[in-house]
């Protein structure tokens, strides 16, 4: 079942690269904080690299002015996420998260099978806004689209 507005973010462990691969629990990420988590189907893929990640990097000061942290997630490993962040000059305050096996995407009910494209299980393109671990806004893209999960769309939706 897909996560819904009002649901609590499920317990999971993601990874980030800081002095080696470091686990990050969803509790660490969301508890007591306002967070936008956006997910891309794959690091270095065209729309993700040209539009999705850059939009959040550009709008990061606006989110921060509202007291909102921003994290990017993909079904890639922490090394790939770090390399992608460096290649895109992503500010260190935008957290890059690896959901290497897609376990968190599956817990959210937001996984999809991209095996036909040689990519295996992936996370759908989405953005969610949570306060203290409770989903307040959820924007899931239709396959092949990039409309509702952009930084601008999320900023407009959460006011």
User: Given this model, what pLDDT does residue 144 score?
Assistant: 87
User: Given this model, what pLDDT does residue 56 score?
Assistant: 98
Q: Spelled out in words, what is the top-level CATH class assigned to the domain 13-158? A: alpha beta
> Domain residues of the chain, as ranges?
13-158
Give which of 104, 148, 103 is closest to 129, Cα–Cα. 148
- 83-124: per-residue pLDDT in tens? 999 999 999 999 999 999 999 999 999 998 888 887 778 899
Measure Cα distances from 94 to 58, 59, 71, 98, 114 in Å.
11, 11, 6, 13, 26
Catalytically active residues are 48
User: Given this model, what pLDDT does residue 104 score?
Assistant: 98
Are 40 and 55 spatial neighbours (Cβ–Cβ below 8 Å)? no
Distance of alpha carbon 147 from alpha carbon 42, whole angstroms: 17
Per-residue pLDDT of the chain (159 residues; tens, 9 = 90+): 899 999 999 999 999 999 999 999 999 999 999 999 999 999 998 888 989 999 999 999 999 999 999 999 999 999 999 999 999 999 999 999 999 999 999 999 999 888 888 777 889 999 999 999 999 999 999 988 999 999 999 999 998
Tokens standing for 157? 């939706």
User: Given this model, what pLDDT does residue 46 score?
Assistant: 87
């Amino acid at each position: 079942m897909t996560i819904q507005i009002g649901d609590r973010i499920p317990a999971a462990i993601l990874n980030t690269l800081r002095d080696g691969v470091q686990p990050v629990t969803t509790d660490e990420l969301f508890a007591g904080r306002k967070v936008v988590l956006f997910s891309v189907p794959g690091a270095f893929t065209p729309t993700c690299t040209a539009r999705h990640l850059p939009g959040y990097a550009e709008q990061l000061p606006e989110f921060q002015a509202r007291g909102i942290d921003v994290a990017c997630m993909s079904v890639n490993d922490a090394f790939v996420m770090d390399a992608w962040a460096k290649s895109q000059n992503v500010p260190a305050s935008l957290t890059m998260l690896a959901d290497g096996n897609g376990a968190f995407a599956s817990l959210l009910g937001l996984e999809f099978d991209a095996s036909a494209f040689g990519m295996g299980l992936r996370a759908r393109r989405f953005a969610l806004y949570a306060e203290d671990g409770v989903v307040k806004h959820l924007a899931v893209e239709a396959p092949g689209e990039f409309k509702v999960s952009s930084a601008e769309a999320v900023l407009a939706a959460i006011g």
